[in-house]
Structure 1
């Protein structure tokens, strides 16, 4: 298993909340998703996830630029095109279910 490092800001902030953990294991994707944080705080959950994922895409694009020199705007365009294609015509089905609670 090869976990990522917890970002320093998350280590320092006692109110930090992990929202998403995604793994490739047993030839598929496996996720732990913190659903309900926004809804429980009076916000519409789906659009809040859109903002969260957009910020995540920007971080990915910036990392690709820093590591491989790929311009961030080009990476964002490529990610969005792939995202739209995958949502419209999935390469695999999503399996599993949602479990409430932590741990």
Structure 2
């Protein structure tokens, strides 16, 4: 398995929380998500928090493409946005799996 390193900030913060992992395996996308943390805390709307997480991830990806591959950050972000919206409107693959709640 080819795992990504844990960010230093997460290692240094004893209150850090892993929210999402994503793998490509067996010719498909597989995820592990921490769903419900915001809803259970009651102070932030869960959907809004995940929208922010996904937007932050998109910006990190665009930044990495610019830094590592000389891509234009704004063009990359626009391509990510378009692909995201296209996949929400007309998914190219069906989702499989189930929600397993573990704390």
TM-score by length of 1: 0.96
TM-score, length basis structure 2:
0.96
Q: What's the offset of the Cα at 1:37?
A: 1.0
* Aligned counterparts of 2:12 and 2:36: Cα–Cα separation in 1: 24
Structure 1 residues not aligned, in runs of 5+: none
Aligned residues: 102
User: RMSD in angstroms over aligned alpha carbons?
Assistant: 0.8
Deviations 1:46-86 (A, max 9, x none): 01100111111100000000011111111110000011111
5 Å matches for 1:21-40?
21-40=21-40
Matches within 5 A, 1:10-25: 10-25=10-25
Corresponding residue of 1:96: 97
1:3 aligns with 3
Runs of at least 5 residues in structure 2 that lack an aligned partner in the other structure: none
